[in-house]
């Protein structure tokens, strides 16, 4: 991998004298980046010189050391180029890496394109070289002065953020956003991977984990057919550096073949969401948010890598010189409830602020806000910034100024930059300062001054608040200590235990509730006791033995959603009600499966389940399914019949460790954990014991899915949790319904 980023020598195959051709632009990019011309070799059999450099007819003819070749030729002639690569390696054994910018391969979706890509990779393997692409624009390394791209308008300023993109066009967009700032923002590396026929995103992230110039990594991801190696590389990288992911494909398309809630509600993006969080990545929604979050995180970590992370919620102070924009920004901060809150400062700091600001200014009314009014001078700005950033109750400061004729933007920016310089070297080093000068066209010079002082001048309240909320999310995840499970390369062979229901046929089958519960009972799950009955008298006897009230359910693998099918009767409190409900369910079975004269139980039904009715509590759904991309996935969310409408599910990839399971429970049942802020030692008060049991259930489902590769999906809905001090038959958690679908393989 080092050969891509810091090669001894570089050839551009397909270099052209025509400035409009990509082969010329790549050569020009290398020169403009500062790569030594003595180690840069144009290769073109029809040219003797390109861009003032001596050209060579082929790679084998290059006289100097050659470690990297950038290939920009028509795909039809790549076979010849790869023969030349092989000759070079055989003769000199110095060529290690290829960036193939040419298109016309598997991205076309044609057999010809796929075959061409296979030949390309086989040829690279025979030559013993690594290949990035094809259909990519390669890499930029601002520190080693390498630029294999043909992009326009990119300012190659060294920085500490690396960007990795599956899309060359999106990568160009990112770099042009950085370059378009008032003072172009720096970056360490940029990688466009294209088709990833050889070098993968996972390998690239592994390299960046060891790169001393990179403090944060941004990933633009479209998808992969093998996510587990990528997730493992993200996990390893995220343990050392922030990983911010912008992933497209948020359309939530449920599995059409799914019968359980877990499978039907698991759109591919929702699983990605959980998997990325499990791997320690911070996922964002938009391009501007993506770039801003990385810049703010990198600036904070570059300045104070060992400083204590801010608490959650992050305490933010706002300073304005105009009332309306201040109210607007305070509303934005309040919209990030749980992540950001107004910072309260000490009485001493308030006294300093009141002395520093103009007479009509408003100080800490409300808390966390100073309106200095339009009469505030640049010097007063500086005094206020110093006082606030030195207060231990502040984690982040946002200042908001609109350029006005009697308050020159450059003077304000200079004062803010000097104030920051004075405090950033001391106790305020770990704090975040986001000075906003609005708006872009009118504050360009002032924002450039701030950027040169190392302050991301984001230009709008929306950008600042979104970035701060994401920084808070990042540090919250770091403090939680949750580490993602590492999925096996191959699932273990199926291991079967005793007491299981009969095997399905090769077509696969959905088990009835009783058999589903039998299969799942070993996964740390307590079920409400039940009996499967085949006649009215047995149902009444079972109800008496269980104790009233009871529930009756039609027991059939062909009725996975019994409530929706009208196949459940609840709250039965005496033998007469049980007998009547039994008869009703028999009639309902005949309506669903057969004519009324088909006997007591029509084909497709196994009887009527009589179940002790558990008292109400907190209803949760827990489940698992086998995703075609991720493999075994575990899910949890608020349960009951409203699942999928206003109660989304949250997912993690198996195997789950205890921290993974606790994290997804916190995410899915966030409202239950509101009380935990005041009692951080307790897990999910007042449902602490029940939630701890739920964590064990999720771990058990994860293990079962890894051991039983014939389980397609499994649901427990609802699982009822009871507050500490209450229980049902001695348990703080009880499952009252189960559904399992087997593949039959």
Distances (CA, A) of 309 to 315, 335, 470, 480: 12, 22, 13, 12
Give the SS3 label for residue 451.
Answer: helix
- Distance separating alpha carbons of residues 113 and 404, to the nearest angstrom: 59
- The helix/strand count (H/E) of the chain reads as 21, 31
pLDDT value, residue 646 = 62
Please list the alpha-helical segments (H only) found in 60-110. Answer: 78-92
Contacts of residue 496, defined as CB under 8 A and 6 or more positions apart, other chains included, come to 708
Q: Which CATH architecture has domain 1-135?
A: 3-Layer(aba) Sandwich (3.40)
- The pLDDT averaged over each successive group of 10 residues in the chain (745 residues) is 97 96 96 97 96 96 96 94 97 97 92 95 97 95 97 93 95 94 95 96 97 97 90 96 91 46 58 93 96 96 89 95 92 92 97 96 95 94 96 97 87 96 88 91 90 92 97 84 41 36 56 94 88 96 97 93 92 97 93 70 86 94 92 91 71 94 91 58 73 94 94 94 90 94 81
Give the SS3 label for residue 656.
Answer: coil
Give the SS3 label for residue 728.
Answer: strand
Query: Which of 322, 444, 342 shows the shortest CA–CA distance to 391?
Result: 342
| CATH no. of 529-612 | 3.30.1490.20
Q: Please identify which residue in the block is written with the tokens 């209803």.
A: 619
As annotated, the residues of the chain forming the CATH 3.40.50.720 domain(s) are: 1-135
pLDDT value, residue 215 = 95
As annotated, the residues of the chain forming the CATH 3.30.470.20 domain(s) are: 618-742
Angle among Cα 473, 477, 482 to the nearest 5 degrees reads: 160
- Asked if 113 and 107 touch (Cβ cutoff 8 Å), the reply is yes
- Whether the CA torsion 504, 507, 512, 516 is positive or negative: it is positive
Q: Please identify which residue in the block is written with the tokens 């009725």.
A: 559
- Distance separating alpha carbons of residues 205 and 284, to the nearest angstrom: 18
- Asked if 671 and 617 touch (Cβ cutoff 8 Å), the reply is no
Q: Residue 5: count other Cβ atoms within 10 Å of its Cβ.
A: 22
Q: Which DSSP string do the residues of 349-389 spell out, in sequence order?
A: HHHHHHHHS-TT-EESSSTTEEE--TT--HHHHHHHHHHHH
Q: Which DSSP string do the residues of 505-565 spell out, in sequence order?
A: -TT-EEPPHHHHHHHHTTTT-PBPPEEEESSHHHHHHHHHHH-SSEEEEEE-TT-SSTTTT
As annotated, the residues of the chain forming the CATH 3.40.50.261 domain(s) are: 311-480
Residues constituting the chain: 745
pLDDT in tens, 506-556: 457 899 999 999 999 877 789 999 999 999 999 999 999 999 999 999 999
- Distance separating alpha carbons of residues 745 and 742, to the nearest angstrom: 8
Query: Which of 378, 435, 385, 386 shows the shortest CA–CA distance to 410?
Result: 378
As annotated, the residues of the chain forming the CATH 3.30.1490.20 domain(s) are: 529-612
pLDDT in tens, 568-616: 999 999 999 999 999 999 999 988 887 655 567 777 789 999 999 999 9
- Whether the CA torsion 615, 620, 622, 628 is positive or negative: it is positive
Contacts of residue 576, defined as CB under 8 A and 6 or more positions apart, other chains included, come to none
- Considering the entire predicted model, what is its pTM? 0.89
pLDDT value, residue 674 = 63
pLDDT value, residue 110 = 94
Pairing verdict, β 187-192 and 733-735: unpaired
Contacts of residue 180, defined as CB under 8 A and 6 or more positions apart, other chains included, come to 153
- Asked if 586 and 555 touch (Cβ cutoff 8 Å), the reply is no
DSSP one-letter code for 6: S
Strand arrangement of the beta sheet that strand 146-147 belongs to: 146-147, 138-141, 187-192, 158-165, 216-221, 243-247, 282-284
pLDDT value, residue 410 = 93
pLDDT value, residue 644 = 58
- Distance separating alpha carbons of residues 498 and 574, to the nearest angstrom: 36
Distances (CA, A) of 282 to 216, 270, 395, 507, 565: 11, 14, 20, 41, 41
* Topology given in CATH for the domain delimited by 311-480: Rossmann fold (3.40.50)
* Structure tokens that stand for 403 in this block: 């350029």
Q: Residue 634: count other Cβ atoms within 10 Å of its Cβ.
A: 30
Q: Does domain 618-742 have CATH number 3.30.470.20?
A: yes
pLDDT value, residue 442 = 81
- Asked whether the bond before 211 is cis by omega within 30 degrees of 0, the reply is no
């Amino acid at each position: 991998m080092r050969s891509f980023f810091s090669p001894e020598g570089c050839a551009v195959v397909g270099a052209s004298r025509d400035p409009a051709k990509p082969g010329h632009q790549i050569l020009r990019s290398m020169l403009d980046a500062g790569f030594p011309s003595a180690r840069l070799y144009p290769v073109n059999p029809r040219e003797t010189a390109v861009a003032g450099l001596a050209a060579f007819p082929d790679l084998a003819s290059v006289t100097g050391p050659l470690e990297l070749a950038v290939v920009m030729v028509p795909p039809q002639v790549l076979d010849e180029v790869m023969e030349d690569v092989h000759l070079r390696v055989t003769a000199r054994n110095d060529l290690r890496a290829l960036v193939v910018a040419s298109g016309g391969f598997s991205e076309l979706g044609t057999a010809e394109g796929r075959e061409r890509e296979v030949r390309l990779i086989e040829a690279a393997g025979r030559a013993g070289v690594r290949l990035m692409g094809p259909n990519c624009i390669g890499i930029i390394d601002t520190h080693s002065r390498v630029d294999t791209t043909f992009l326009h308008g990119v300012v190659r300023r060294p920085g500490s953020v690396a960007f990795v993109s599956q899309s060359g066009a999106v990568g160009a967009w990112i770099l042009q956003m950085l370059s378009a700032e008032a003072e172009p923002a720096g970056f360490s590396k940029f990688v466009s991977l294209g088709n990833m026929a050889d070098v993968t995103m996972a390998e690239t992230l592994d390299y960046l984990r060891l790169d001393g110039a990179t403090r944060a990594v941004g990933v633009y991801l479209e998808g992969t057919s093998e996510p587990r190696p990528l997730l493992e590389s993200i996990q390893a990288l995220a343990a050392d550096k922030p990983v911010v992911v912008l992933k497209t494909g948020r359309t939530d398309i449920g599995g059409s073949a799914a019968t359980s809630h877990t499978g039907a509600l698991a759109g591919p993006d929702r699983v990605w969401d959980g998997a990325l969080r499990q791997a320690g990545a911070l996922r964002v929604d938009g391009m501007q948010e993506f770039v801003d979050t990385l810049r703010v995180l990198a600036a904070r970590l570059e300045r104070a890598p060992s400083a204590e992370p801010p608490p959650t919620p992050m305490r933010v102070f706002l300073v304005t010189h105009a009332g309306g924009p201040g109210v607007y920004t305070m509303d934005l901060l309040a919209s990030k409830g749980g992540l950001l809150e107004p910072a309260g400062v000490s009485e001493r700091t308030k006294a300093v602020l009141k002395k520093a600001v103009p007479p009509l200014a408003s100080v800490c009314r409300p808390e966390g806000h100073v309106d200095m009014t339009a009469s505030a001078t640049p010097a007063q700005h500086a005094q206020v910034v110093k006082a606030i950033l030195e207060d231990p109750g502040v984690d982040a400061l946002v200042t908001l100024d609109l350029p006005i004729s009697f308050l020159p933007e450059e003077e304000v920016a200079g004062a803010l930059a000097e104030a920051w310089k004075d405090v950033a070297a001391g106790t305020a080093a770990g704090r975040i300062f986001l000075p906003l000068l609005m708006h872009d066209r009118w504050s360009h010079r002032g924002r450039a001054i701030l950027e040169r002082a190392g302050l991301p001048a984001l230009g709008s309240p929306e950008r600042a608040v979104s970035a701060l909320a994401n920084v808070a999310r990042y540090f919250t995840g770091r403090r939680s200590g949750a580490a993602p499970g590492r999925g096996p390369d191959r699932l273990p062979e199926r291991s079967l235990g005793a007491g299981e229901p009969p095997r399905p046929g090769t077509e696969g089958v959905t088990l009835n509730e009783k058999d589903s519960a039998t299969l799942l009972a070993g996964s740390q799950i307590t079920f409400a006791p039940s009996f499967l009955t085949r006649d009215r008298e047995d149902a009444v006897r079972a109800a008496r033995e269980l104790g009233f009230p009871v529930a009756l359910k039609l027991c059939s693998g062909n009725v996975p959603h019994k409530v929706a099918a009208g196949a459940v009767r609840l709250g039965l409190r005496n033998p007469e009600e049980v007998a009547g409900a039994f008869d009703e369910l028999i009639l309902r079975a005949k309506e669903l499966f057969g004519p009324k004269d088909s006997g007591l139980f029509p084909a497709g039904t196994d009887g009527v389940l009589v179940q002790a009715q558990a008292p109400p509590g907190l209803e949760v759904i827990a489940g698992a399914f086998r995703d075609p991309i991720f493999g075994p996935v575990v899910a949890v969310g608020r349960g009951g019949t409203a699942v999928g409408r206003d109660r989304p599910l949250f997912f993690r990839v198996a195997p789950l460790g205890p921290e993974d399971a606790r994290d997804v429970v916190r995410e899915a049942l966030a409202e239950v954990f509101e009380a935990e802020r005041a009692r951080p030692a307790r897990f999910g008060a007042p449902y602490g014991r029940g939630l701890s049991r739920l964590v064990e259930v999720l771990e058990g489902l994860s293990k079962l899915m890894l051991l039983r590769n014939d389980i397609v999906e499994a649901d427990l809905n609802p699982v009822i949790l009871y507050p500490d001090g209450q229980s049902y038959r001695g348990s703080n958690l009880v499952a009252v319904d189960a559904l399992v679908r087997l593949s039959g393989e």
